[in-house]
A and B are shown apart, each in its own frame.
Chain A
Amino acid sequence: MEFFKQATPEERKIYYREEWDVNQVPNFILGQLENREFGFDHFGRGPNDRYKTFNSPEYLKRFMRSKTPFAAYCSVAFYEKPRKREGWMHAELVFDVDAKDIPIRTCNCDNVCEICLNEAKEIVGNIIDTLKSDLGLKNIHLSYSGRGYHIRVLDESVMEMDSDVRSQVLKYVVGADVPNDKYENRGQIYTLRPYSIPFGYPKVFTDRIKYSILHLTKDSKIEGISKNLLNKTLENRKFIEENQWGDFLNKLDPNHPKTGARNYNKLINSIASLNMSLVDGKVSIDLKRILRLPSSLHSKVSMRCTEVKNIDTFDPFKDAVPKFVWERKD
């Protein structure tokens, strides 16, 4: 049986008429259905049927069953008049991690595979941890999008925030900026590298850099990092695994107290830039985005966009494969 093959119109019909149930749409969407805008893609050319609204789950159910869309989306924003996209009330804070676009993947697949989907899940887990432990956010939902994951935050304290603040949150959780390492206290300047600060943003940054370095392969191509530096990094990353960052630095730049930590700086600066691509930033800062509707079919890959209740046990190859895929004959 072949995964990730496009669903036929017939298979879509089977899915929406026999397998899909409106009650699979999560409560965080059904609960305020009338304030969301819906969008549909009927022909696989992008969601051009927009500005749709549904006053009750029953209407949504009828629509899906009769139209059996190629893809279904709903807005992250809540509107007073969603049919006109007017009266913006607030919007979910969203992080879109697409396995296909992760900048460092240990697999070499062209599209997505079990390995990179697992890596996407690890990244998502790390982001959710930071959202909870550092930022103290609640009401966080996760859905499998078909080729990755959507983290959807419905904590009221962030839903009115503008794009600028959302972009700061995004950069914080992915570790996109190298932290300042000079601190002044009573006229004295102290140099503290991020790995020596086990709290706050430097800690998040160190964790993300560690994750990325441990997922590098000899074939990784990273702008700003030469083959030589990549090899040196791979040879010595065992130190990072054991959190011996000082030893790692010494290996990369043996004379760093005299000559400066050139290689180390190059490495962390390049990886910090790369971290920005862990998540699709456009989605996070867009206050009117539409996202795949959990429970709907991602027809391009024949996977079900699914709400993930337990990230540890969720397996897309078990929990997000529609029945018709298992029943395919080829």
Chain B
Amino acid sequence: MIPMSFINPLSDEGKQIVREDGGDLDRIFDENDDIIDAVNSITAQEISDDAYIPKSYVDLVIKRVEWYVDKKSDPKYNHKKYAFLFYPEIAKFDVIAFYILCQAIGIKYGPNSRESRAVSELQGQIIENRLEELYERDRLEIVDKIMNILIVQDRIKWTSLADLLSSKKINLQDLVLKDGNVILDREDFMEYFKDVVKLQQPERMYNVFIGNRIKELIMIKMIMQNTENYIKNVHEIAGREVEPNATLLKIAEEVADALSKEIRYYGGGDSGGEVKASPLNIEKFPPCIRKSLDGIKSGGRNEVIVLFLTPFLSYARLYPSVFSRNTTLKVSDVDADLKITQNEILPMIYDAADRCSPPLFDDQPQEKININAKLGFGMNDNLNLQHEGETTWYTPMSCEKVKLNMPNLCRPDKTCKGITNPLSYYNRKMREK
């Protein structure tokens, strides 16, 4: 039987393991024969190098992270090298490694960090891979068992999944809904939809469309959310302590090092090397920006020029890597005398405003002040370094927000696939050269 903690380390069973075996932080760097034996006992793996075997709890923590990074970014990724992560023989050790990882990240980086998001995503992917290795019957059984505990009530209301929806871990459109309930159960499906499914066998439709797919999806996302909640708790408790645990801080740094190989992948589908500040290349702009530069002929001129175009052009010119770096900058950090802003960025914004119908500043001259505000220079007539910081330099709007606020602008092309921010599109194109 598959241990529940192997899929959900935050289950009672998982907590019990930590209580019994995970207490001694001083020994987690030590070589542990039990871990080595458990890994060696798994046959479905390729251990051509001794270094592939985790020898301590901390080693196991780092292996988890390395797997996640390699799988995502190494073109020569070899699954067999990490196969031990997906077999229940290591369940007990893996649970402890999970807690060490979460505690280290919670203490050092906190809940809203990239590292925290990576740990939650890593956990989700480990669960997915583990489920794939199971026999169908075991898979159905374990998912049912875990879901029964995670979901207290018989039927799940979609409104109870608001956190998951908000964090975009699931999308409302992925759920099959009826009267507000998320339909997961076969009998419920048959009761509601048997009569309307005409082109296919209802049974087959259930298996294809819902089956275990949505159930697993929800379960994985709930565990990911719980992982984030756990990291948050650790962070809050650590904040009340005089001195954070040095061992965990050290592990957190090692984890961050391992993740840094991959960290550039954050920031909305923006992958590859960092794009440096350089003159704007209109050819590389996404369709929505090109359309905005042509001027807006109907409503929504202010939003497009002030809220959409101004942040995009300023960041694309001055700080295109804003999403892949963890640092907030001011315009003057890059453009000390504001010459680039005055001579390159503002003229482009003003030209687009003039191409609007009617020209934006003809009837709304105050929007020039709003543009200055969005660049971080407060509600002032001119860009003046003394006023910098009175307002925030707005970051470019995401594709999601563009679709909602200015649906007419979004006409995606092939490059838009997988892109979540127009700036990421620009960076991707700039890297192509």
Closest chain B residue, CB of each to CB of A137: B180
Instruction: Please state if B179 and A136 are interface contacts (CB–CB under 8 Å).
Output: yes
Highest count of chain B CB atoms <10 Å: which of A167, A169, A186, A197? A197
Residues of A within 8 A of B240 (CB): none
Contact residues, A131-172 vs B (CB, 8 A): 133-137, 157-158, 160-162, 164-165, 167-172
Taking the complex as formed, is B266 at the interface, i.e. its CB lies under 8 A from any CB of chain A?
no
Asked whether A165 and B162 contact (CB < 8 A) given A157-B157, A185-B211, A198-B196, the answer is yes
Least CB separation from B159: chain A residue: A157
Given contacts A136-B157, A185-B213, A198-B198, contact A172 B173 (CB under 8 A): yes
Question: Once the chains bind, are A168 and B404 in contact (CB under 8 Å)?
Answer: no
Interface residue range, chain B:
35 or more
Contact residues in B for A158 (Cβ distance below 8 Å)? 159
Residue contact B176 to A281, C-beta cutoff 8 Å: no
Q: Measured between C-beta atoms, what is the minimum distance from A225 to chain B in Å?
A: 12
Contact of A224 with B by CB under 8 A: yes
For window 178-216 of A, CB contacts with B under 8 Å fall at 179, 183-186, 190, 192, 196-201
Smallest beta-carbon distance B27→chain A, Å: 43
CB neighbours of A281 from chain B (8 A): 403-405, 407
A190 in contact with B208 (CB, 8 Å): yes
A276 within 8 Å of B (CB atoms): yes
- Cα–Cα distance between A102 and B207 once the two chains are bound (Å): 38
Q: Are A224 and B411 in contact, CB atoms less than 8 angstroms apart?
A: yes
Asked whether A273 lies within 8 Å of B177 as measured between CB atoms, the reply is: no
Is B180's CB under 8 angstroms from A136's CB?
A: yes
Q: Which of A100-133 contact B (CB under 8 A)?
A: 133
Distance between A91 CB and nearest chain B CB, rounded to angstroms: 14
In the docked arrangement, what's the CA distance between A277 and B407, Å? Answer: 6
- Cβ of A86 < 8 Å from any Cβ of B? no
B151 CB-CB contact with A under 8 Å: no
Task: Decide if A167 touches B400 in the complex (CB within 8 Å).
Answer: yes
Of the residues A192, A273, A276, A282, contact of B209 by C-beta under 8 Å: A192
Q: Give chain B residues whose Cβ lies under 8 Å from the Cβ of A273.
A: 407, 410-411
Do B213 and A199 touch (CB < 8 A)? no
CB distance from B164 to the nearest CB of A (A): 10
Shortest Cβ gap from B133 to chain A (Å): 13
- How long is the Cα–Cα vector from A136 to B181 in the complex, in angstroms? 7
Query: Could you tell me the distance in whole angstroms from the C-beta of A154 to the nearest C-beta in chain B?
Result: 14
Say yes or no: is A74 at the interface (Cβ < 8 Å to chain B): no
Question: Considering the chains assembled together, what is the distance between the CA atoms of A118 and B386 in angstroms?
Answer: 55
Question: Could you say which residues of chain B place their CB within 8 Å of the CB of A284?
Answer: 404
- A176 in the interface, Cβ–Cβ < 8 Å? yes
Distance, CA A190 to CA B410, complexed state (A): 29
A100 vs chain B, min Cβ distance (A)? 10
Q: Given the complex of chains A and B, what is the CA–CA distance between A32 and B403 in angstroms? A: 34
A199 and B173 contacting across the interface, CB-CB below 8 Å:
no
Q: Is the CB of B181 within 8 A of A165?
A: no
Is A196 within 8 A of B411, CB to CB? no
Per the 8 Å Cβ criterion, residues 184-209 of B in contact with A are 192-193, 196-200, 205, 207-209
**From A164, which residue of chain B is reached at the shortest CB distance?**
B166
B171 located at the interface, meaning its Cβ lies under 8 Å from any Cβ of chain A in the complex: yes
A285 at the interface (CB under 8 A from B): yes
Task: Note all chain B residues with C-beta closer than 8 A to A224.
Answer: 411
A185–B177 contact, CB under 8 A?
Answer: no
The answer to whether B172 has its CB under 8 Å from any CB of chain A is: yes
B175 within 8 A of A: yes
Specify which chain A residues have a CB less than 8 angstroms from the CB of B196 in the assembled complex: 198-199
10 A-B residue contacts at CB 8 Å? A133-B178, A134-B177, A135-B177, A136-B177, A136-B178, A164-B165, A165-B172, A169-B172, A184-B213, A201-B174
In the A-B complex, list the 8 residue pairs whose CB atoms are closest, starting with the nearest: A136-B180, A281-B404, A276-B407, A157-B159, A200-B176, A201-B173, A168-B172, A136-B179
Query: Which residues of B are interface residues toward A (Cβ below 8 A)?
Result: 136, 157-159, 162, 165-166, 168, 171-181, 192-193, 196-200, 205, 207-209, 211, 213, 400, 403-405, 407-408, 410-411
Q: Given A136-B157, A165-B166, output 5 extra A-B contacts at Cβ < 8 Å.
A: A136-B177, A158-B159, A160-B162, A164-B166, A200-B209
